[in-house]
Structures are given as structure tokens and as C-alpha cells.
Structure 1
Amino acid sequence: MTNAQQTRLPPSRPAPTYAGAAPDGAALYRAGDYQAACAAFEQALRDAPADPRCLINLANAHWAAGQIQRADDYALAALALAPDYAQAWMIAGAVALAKNNHAGALAHYHQAVALRPNFAPAQAGLAAALLAAGQHDAAIAAAEAALALQPDLAHAAYSLGCARAARGAHEQAIAAYDLALSIEPRHARARLNRGNALAEGGQLAAARRDIEAAIAIQPDLPEAHASLGFVLTAQGHVAAARQACRKAIAIAPDCAAAHWNFGVACLLEGDFAAGFEAYEWRKSHPQHGRHFLRRPGPVWQGDSLAGKSLLVSAEQGFGDAIMFARFLPTLAARARSVTLHCAPALVPLLDGLAGIRAVAFETRPPDYDLHVDQMSLARLLAITPANIPGAGGYLTAQPDLRAQFAARLPPERNIGLVWAGNPAHHNDRNRSLPAGALAPLQVSTAHLVSLQCGPRAGEMAITDLTAELTDFARTAALIACLDAVLTVDSAVAHLAGALGVPCHVLLPHAPDWRWQLHRPDTPWYRSITLHRQPHPQDWATPIRAAAIALRVSPASNITSL
């Protein structure tokens, strides 16, 4: 999983606004001696205590020195004397932003822009505040307005890149970062985020060069070491990735991206104890933490459930919920009751599993004593590769639905195909096949059945019953009628494995953590065989291997893709 673009701006350092009141202070400020500048400006303030320009000079100097509360105090004092002083509103906005007070920052910067709409630094500050508040389209507009007024404003170009990246426009983000770097070549965060954007586009070698360059500029930038960990993991250098993440954590123990990336690297190597411990940081991750439900009441910490009702919240994708449903019977055996709160499409599949109740997210769950996020269960249950429950299958298809689908299939080898996952998935470009990649299998003597739902359904001229797969219970019933499944990394892979149906999974060169590395099998599902890309974008090799294993097509029919 890629890191979120880092959006924090370095402290802005506007020139003092009233150099005449303290020429020594202005000179010291320009020389970067901010503490001495503060002392000089204090003297100027004693000479002119009612002059808001002296207060603004002090606010600027304290801000540049990293003393944000004193900067705020002086800015507010200036506003008490001169409420129409735009630069004072800007400093108050910068302080609010530094304190993660997004509403306050927006209010202050909007006031500054209202007072001086053609002042580029005010527009740039507003762009940064909008970016922090997640208002990406408005941030783009403000950053572009700032650059139209002052094309050499590096932090406006940086904000523009961050906002574009947040909208998924990574090529345009790179162009904005390039502009920032042309203005300020040692802008470490612009260099880092350029690397992050390249990584999002799968350009790992170039991404690594940029991220390492950011570290060379600012060695104590924890997000850069965390991003390096991500890229090294994607390149298969897992030990080095773990070391990079440790460096990030040593610099900033609360860097969620570093803990997350460290956890992923550990899980890829089968170190479940360290991996699932670090995986808990997903809830604080800047990109993913906002998706978590914040529930009232105590969180289950692995203690006794005797006599207690437990609410389990599904999270992330359909495949994650299916994969971790294997732990629900263990909980049901310990608790008075267990309820799974999940997506509506999963309710018919999972409701009643080992006596648990499944309730759709749109429905208010029953009262509970304790609650827990579903993907925390592996840690709480001390799961290792050796004690994973349900590896042989833990779900069954509904007999009536299975009979309905069985009657629709011919009495020969029936093989289900999936060639694309969820297009909204952050790694879809790497894990989904290009159109037509499985076309050579159509010469097979086996009967091919589409399990491909979503926008790419219908790309192959094979039996297609997907219009009837309105929930996962119906999909499970069709899969249970098949002799095997061939799929990319998708929810169908987890569903086939949970049903114990033979399944061949085509994996990208940098796989998801659950498939680990360098092995053709998985401890999570005994019925699954893994076929891996030996190199990025080489789908021909795993497809050929899967076709041979399934006896569905001569290898010569599959050429380079």
C-alpha cells in the first residue's frame, strides 16, 4: 500500500513588514538568526508599543524560530490594534494549521484573502489550510491563484502537487513538484512527494531515487524513511525496508506510515507477531485512518468474553472481511453473542456462521458490551502461520442456490475466471490484468465461466451469469459448482479459498502482504495455488503456469502480454 502524500508545509518565513522600526532585527532575520531578531524586535516594540507592524515582526520572528504560541500571541495582539492587517491573520492561520485546528486555519486564511485577494502568500496559505482540511479541489484553485499572482512561490506549487496527488492526478502532481523544486531545489518534502507520486505510478526505481534524495537533504524527515520502506518492500528488499521503517520510528515514534509499512514488511516475511502488532497503526494512518468507524464503548483487548456481547466491525475490502471471517467461530465459542457489522453484500454469506449475526452497515447494530475491528483479530488471537484456523475452508454455499446454478452448467470441467479486481483499489493497476490477457484460454476444452463483476464484466465471450451475483452468498453458490477458479488477487480468491474450492491466483511482482513472498502456497487457504510475476508487468509467465496446472490451454497459446 502506498503512502499518503505528505502535506505539511515547512514554516513560511515572510520578510519583516516594518524594517524601519528595527533595522538590526530585520538584518538578523534575513541572516537566519531568529532568536537575536526576536530580541531586536522586542526593543523596537518597547519604543513603539502601539505599532502593529512591530507586533507582526515579532510574530514572524517567533514563527521562524519555531515558537508558534508566542507567534500567535503577537499576531492576535496585532489584530487587536489593526483587525484589517492581513499578515496578522495569516500568522494566526499558520499557527492554527500547526496545531491541526483546520477550521480555525481556514477562517483566518479566508479573512486574510478577503482583505488582500491579490496577495499571493495569503492565497498560498489558504491552499495549505484547504489541503489539510481535505478540500482538495478548493486547494488546487487557491494554489493556482497564488501561482498566477507569484509564479516563484515554492510552497504554493508544493500544495498544488499535494492536492493533485490526493485527487489521483499523479502526473500533474509531479509537474507541480517539479515547479516547486525548480524554485527551491532543496525542498525536501517536494522531493519526497515527487517520489511518492512516482511510486503510485509504479515507477519504483525513480521513486526510490527521489526519496533517497529527500533523505540526503533532510535526514531527520521520518516520512521519507517510511516511504523508502514502502518502495523497498515493493521492490522485494524486505529486510532493508524494515530497517528504513525502524529509522523513521526512531526519529518519530508516532509516525503511523512507518509502523504500517514495517508491519506490511513483517507480514510478507511471515513474522505475524511483529506484523500484526504494527498493523494496528492502520487506524492512525493519514490515508486510511479516516475510514474507521469510531464507536462508543470499550474495545475488546483479548480478555475473557464470557457472558459478553461483542460487536465486530468489518473493514477495508470484501476480501478482507471474508478472510478474517474465519475467526468469528472462535469468538462465538467464547462470547454470549457476536455480531458482525459489514457491507450489505456480505450479510447473506456470513449471517449465521457459527451462530453469529451479520448486520449491514446501514442498519444500527444491537447493543454490545465490547467492540473490535475485524482485522485486529489476528493479533488478539495470537495467530501465527502454524495455527491459522479454517485453512481447509470455513464457509459453505447455500444448498438451494447451489442447485440453481448447478443446473445451468454443462456436465464437464467448469472453471471460473476473474481478470480484474475493484477498480477503486489503490493497487488495481498492478493486480488487475489488461483486457484480453486471458483470451488464449478460450481455446480450452474446459468450460469457462465468468465470475467477473463490475465495469469490466463481459470482456470475454464465455458463460456469464454475473448479473445474478447480487451478493456474496450467490457468488459462493456458483463457485461451489465449479471445478476450479482462476483469478487475480480479488475477493473471489478469498471466497474460493474459504469454500475450499481449488483456486489459482495470479499475483503481481509486489504482492499484497497476505500472500507473502517466494512461495506457491499460502497458510491461509490450502486450496489456493499462487502464480507470481517474476518481473513487474510480466503476466504471461503466471498465466502460462496457471494454464498448465489447470490443463486448460497449451502453453504455446500464451505469449507475452
Structure 2
Amino acid sequence: MSVPTDTITHILAQALELLRQGRFAHARAMLEGCPPSPRTELLLAHAHAGCNRVQEAARLLCRQAVANPGARHPAQDMLDLLLPHDRADEAEAVLRAVRQRAGQDIRTHDMLGELLLQRGHTAEAQAVLADGLALSPAQLSTGNLMAVCLMEQGEFAAGRDLLRYILQHHPDSAMTHANLAHLLGAWNHNDEALQAHGRALALRPEDARLRLNHALTLLKTGRMERGWAEYEWRRRLPGRQRLPEARMLPVLAPDADLRGKTILITREGGLGDMLMMLRFVPVLAAMGARISVQAPDTLHGLIRRMPGVRRVVGERNMLPAHDWHCPFLSLPHVLHRTKGCDGLPVPYLQADPARVRQWAPFLPVGTGLRVGLVWGGASRPDAPAAFAMDRRRSLPLRRLAPLAGIAGISLVSLQMGTYTKQMHDMPAGMRLYDPMESVHDMDDTAALIAGLDVVVSVDTSVAHLAGAMGCPVLLLDRFDNCWRWLSERTDSPWYPTLRIIRQISAGQWDNVVHRLCSMLARRDLPPSRLPPRV
């Protein structure tokens, strides 16, 4: 007995919804009873993949790919369904089987290589992509992915040469020009990077993503006014602009009078971004504005103590009434013509005195140097770009073993997150005070920092917090540094008490740790701007 077409359509729609919800076994049970069709077979392949039925999924996906050689490979849809539900292992297994069955299809090398790259298996990704380039040396997508692999491993010259070769065959590929610009910027060849950005933008001048990457290179090279203006293109990215554009705070005149106006500063970026931008909030208040700030709960205590802030709300709260709104990272742009364009001087954030007293017993006693320590950032395996960056900015605690040999210092952990597990295998001779289990928010962390002599940190929000408080900071920085720390500098215009110890070559921390130990042993620290200890 035949099943009515509308019934089949309804079943397939239900099965797709189950797949989107991550209910792969339920979808498979529903689809296995359906009459065979290309659509049914495709959805069943995705369901098999989510159930770890690797060979069944690979067989059906390959059959669909052969039937539609000019279309997007069906395994890409599988990735879109599996990865949001933490099924990367299953997805990788299926891609390996697909590649084994159809190794002459270069798309299979691209998909597996990109997934391996996202998961941090860079060397294996490079080998997979090399097989793809052997099939087609000038393949656009494969070449660009291989260049990213090479850059991840610090092989900048090889990545540049590959992208230039790809451009000989695809001179109008804006993506390749943009990737070349990104690689050159990471390599600190900034003038060449800006030229490559220019070529990408000549091809796609309205591409917000390309304009954003151009802005970051301008900022990294210290071209601040132009960089902040270009950075406004980020607000055109999908999903970025949620509030009415008509009420976006405009660029303010030098004599701007904001009396009677309420301005809502909206959350944007990570904690470090917001901590860095908070210096500008009192400038608006000094112009007469009433300030409300939307921010993560962990920052509320710090922000409430800032001059001019009337109200602080969380991300889930209803937004307060306002005349203008402005995201945190637009503040330098809207203020660049005013006297307050540099923001409040450091220290513009202060610890709560009551909390400082509360946390004092958790810190080591004696006359030695109290050194706060952060060796890892926020690892985000669900966000490939952030995950890759964190692998480069963080270092294993064991690499800091030489700190144990410095006389007269006490190490205090300010580390949060997954990297705290490394304290279970402490380097020989290292003693690390760890009060962080009882820390609830950044206000607690600020109280601990107020009792320290120096903070040693990789590029994380703690470095920004300590710098904003005027605590001496020694920043352990990766070779392809963030734009916030500029190029070829050991100081920071944002934080006068911060010094940068940057990798000389990509991925190499030994020289950084050697210089750090030398500075701590000699007590070669920036002058503190912290208030005297009580």
C-alpha cells in the first residue's frame, strides 16, 4: 500500500526537526520505515552518522555525492547537524570513511582537513590537505585551508608562498587576498598585510567581514582613528545589530552636551574587551549623560563603583529606557573628537575595600613578592576560531617550572576554567596558593589582585583587570599577538603598568619564560598604581 505524498513530506519534515534537535536515534527509526527516495536517503545518512553507524552513513553520503557532483557535498550538511550537538567524534569518523570511499573527490579532503584543523589536530590536517593538493595543486578551497594549517604551525613563509601561488590561478579571489592579509598580519608584516587587505576590498568593498579584518590590522599598527572608524563595519555582520540604528550614539562633537540624555552601553566582546572599554564610561558621564550598562553578572560589582554609572543590568534583564545606545567597542569611535578620547587614566577600576580585607587571609604572608599567575585562557572547543587562538595564547603550567627556582616569591593562582586541572600535576618544587575555588566574580578576583605585587598572565581578561587597577602586569604574549597589544612594543598605551614579554618565534615559550624569570628575580617591574595595602 502506497503512502500519500503529503504524509511522506510530513514525516521527512519531522525527521529533519529531530535531527536538528540532536535526536538522531529517533530520526533514524522514523526514516527507516519510509519509502526510499533521495531525500529520505540523505536524512537517513545524517541519522546514521549521529548514531555512530559510520559505514552506513558514509555509503549513503557517497552515493548522494555521486548523484549530485556539482552540488554542495552532502557531508557538509551532516557536519551542520552533528557539530552543534557535540558529535565531533562521530562526524570525524564518518568523514574518514567518506574519504576512504571517495578519495579522488577533493571535497572529502577539504572537509576532513578543515574539521581536523578546527579540532586542533593541525599536523594531521596538513597531511590530509596535502593529499588533496596532490590531486589539484591550485585548488582554491584546499590551498586556503592548507595556508591556515601552515600559519597555525608558524610556517608563515610557506603559507604566504602557497597563497601567492593560488592567486596566480585565482587572481579575483577576495577570500585568498584576505587570508594572505591575515597571515601577513599574524607574521607582523603589517604594511604588506594592509596592501593585501586593499586588494581584497577592491574586489568586495561591501563585505563586512573583510572590512572588520582590515580594521584589526589598522588598530594593530596604531592607526587608531582610522581603525576605529573601519571597525564599525562589524555592526553590519549578521546578528550583530539588535537595537535600532537610528538611536545609535553618533560621533560626538568636541563640545558635546549630553545633559538630560540617558545612554545605554551594551555588552560586546569578551570580558577583556569590556574591561578595557570601561575607561570611556565616565567620560560620557562627565558630559552630563546618565549611564546604564549592560554587562555579564561577573562585572557588575566593578562597574557599579564607577563614577557616573546609574544602573547595571544583566543580559537577560529588560533593557532600561534610553535615548541612545552604544556597544562597548564603539566607544573609542564615538569619543574620538572629544577631550576624553583617551578615557579615564589608570586606575579606573578599584577593588571593593571590604572584599580586599575578606580575601587578605587567603594570600601568602611574609615579605616576599606576591605573584599572581594565569597560564591559560578560556578554551572554547565549540568556537573553532577562538579555540585555535586559545591554543596559541595559553601555555602548559609545566612550562613555568623555572618560576619555582626564584628566591623570595610566592605564587598565587588566579587561573579559572579547564586549565586549573594542570595543578594536579604541579611542576617539581612549585608551590602555588590557590584561592580561586571560592571566587565567584571579577570583584573577588580584583580583591585578590589588590593584595599582590605583580600579575603574570597570558592574554586574558585578568591581564586587563589588573592593568585597569594599576597593578604591575607582565603579559606573556603569543607571536601573532592580538591587535590590543599593538606591534613591536613592550609597553601598552592602554595600561601604563603593563609590560609585554612576547614570543620571538611562533609557539616558542622558552625564551618568554626565561625573560620572565629574569625580570622577577631582578624585581624589574613597572611601578604600581595600586592603593597602599591596608
- 1:218 paired with 2:179, answer no
**Alpha-carbon offset, residue 222 of structure 1:** 0.6
- 1:511 paired with 2:481, answer yes
Residue in 2 aligned with 1:431?
Answer: 393
- 1:355 paired with 2:308, answer yes
Q: Distance in 2 between matches of 1:327 and 1:263?
A: 20
Residue in 2 aligned with 1:63?
Answer: none
Q: Distance in 1 between matches of 2:67 and 2:259?
A: 59
The range that moved more, 257-266 or 145-154, is: 145-154
Identify the match of residue 208 of structure 2 among 237, 246, 256: 256
TM-score when normalising by structure 1: 0.70
Q: Deviations over 1:230-268 (max 9, x none)?
A: 111111111001101101111111233432332222212
Identify the match of residue 549 of structure 1 among 508, 515, 519: 519
Report 1:62-461 matches (<5 A). Answer: 110=39, 113=42, 118-122=63-67, 125=71, 127=73, 130=76, 134-135=80-81, 137=83, 150-162=102-114, 165=117, 170-171=122-123, 173-283=125-235, 292=240, 294-296=242-244, 298-303=247-252, 305-334=258-287, 336-356=289-309, 357-382=311-336, 387-409=341-363, 410-412=365-367, 413-424=369-380, 425=386, 426-443=388-405, 444-457=407-420, 458=423, 459=426, 461=431
Q: Deviations over 1:330-360 (max 9, x none)?
A: 1233464322222221122223422322222
Distance 1:243 1:113, change over 3 A: same
SS of the residue corresponding to residue 531 of structure 1 reads: strand
Distance 1:272 1:131, change over 3 A: farther
Q: Distance in 1 between matches of 2:339 and 2:179?
A: 27
Distance 1:143 1:122, change over 3 A: farther
The range that moved more, 323-332 or 190-199, is: 190-199
Counterpart of 2:318 in structure 1: which amino acid?
R
SS of the residue corresponding to residue 392 of structure 1 reads: coil
Q: Distance in 2 between matches of 1:190 and 1:133?
A: 18
Q: Distance in 1 between matches of 2:485 and 2:38?
A: 47
Distance 1:293 1:401, change over 3 A: farther
Residue in 2 aligned with 1:483?
Answer: 453
Q: Distance in 2 between matches of 1:217 and 1:132?
A: 31
**Alpha-carbon offset, residue 120 of structure 1:** 2.3
Residue in 1 aligned with 2:18?
Answer: none
Counterpart of 1:534 in structure 2: which amino acid?
I
Counterpart of 1:414 in structure 2: which amino acid?
R
Q: Distance in 2 between matches of 1:551 and 1:194?
A: 43
Counterpart of 1:196 in structure 2: which amino acid?
V
Distance 1:165 1:450, change over 3 A: closer
Q: Is the 8 A contact 1:113 1:122 kept in 2?
A: no
**Alpha-carbon offset, residue 314 of structure 1:** 2.1
Distance 1:182 1:437, change over 3 A: closer
Q: Distance in 2 between matches of 1:493 and 1:197?
A: 29
Residue in 2 aligned with 1:529?
Answer: 499
Counterpart of 1:120 in structure 2: which amino acid?
A
- 1:469 paired with 2:421, answer no
Q: Distance in 1 between matches of 2:449 and 2:342?
A: 23
Q: Is the 8 A contact 1:319 1:491 kept in 2?
A: yes
Q: Which structure would you say has the larger RCO, counting Cα contacts within 8 Å and 6 or more residues apart?
A: 2
- Bigger-Rg structure (1/2): 1
Distance 1:283 1:293, change over 3 A: closer
SS of the residue corresponding to residue 353 of structure 1 reads: coil
**Alpha-carbon offset, residue 435 of structure 1:** 2.6
Residue in 1 aligned with 2:532?
Answer: none
**Alpha-carbon offset, residue 319 of structure 1:** 1.0
Q: Distance in 2 between matches of 1:250 and 1:132?
A: 35
Q: Distance in 2 between matches of 1:381 and 1:133?
A: 43
Q: Distance in 2 between matches of 1:280 and 1:348?
A: 29
**Alpha-carbon offset, residue 221 of structure 1:** 0.4
Counterpart of 1:533 in structure 2: which amino acid?
Q
In the alignment of these two chains, the number of paired residues is 444
Q: Distance in 2 between matches of 1:161 and 1:131?
A: 16
Gaps (5+ residues) in structure 1?
Answer: 1-82, 84-107, 555-561
The range that moved more, 300-309 or 268-277, is: 300-309
Q: Distance in 1 between matches of 2:435 and 2:338?
A: 38
Q: Is the 8 A contact 2:335 2:341 kept in 1?
A: no
Q: Is the 8 A contact 1:522 1:528 kept in 2?
A: yes
Q: Distance in 1 between matches of 2:273 and 2:241?
A: 16
Q: Is the 8 A contact 1:272 1:384 kept in 2?
A: no
Q: CA RMSD in A?
A: 3.4
**Alpha-carbon offset, residue 306 of structure 1:** 4.2
Q: Distance in 1 between matches of 2:389 and 2:66?
A: 36
Q: Is the 8 A contact 1:263 1:278 kept in 2?
A: yes
Distance 1:123 1:170, change over 3 A: farther
**Alpha-carbon offset, residue 207 of structure 1:** 2.3
TM-score when normalising by structure 2: 0.74
SS of the residue corresponding to residue 243 of structure 1 reads: helix
Q: Deviations over 1:397-417 (max 9, x none)?
A: 001000122244314232212
Distance 1:119 1:449, change over 3 A: closer
Distance 1:348 1:293, change over 3 A: farther
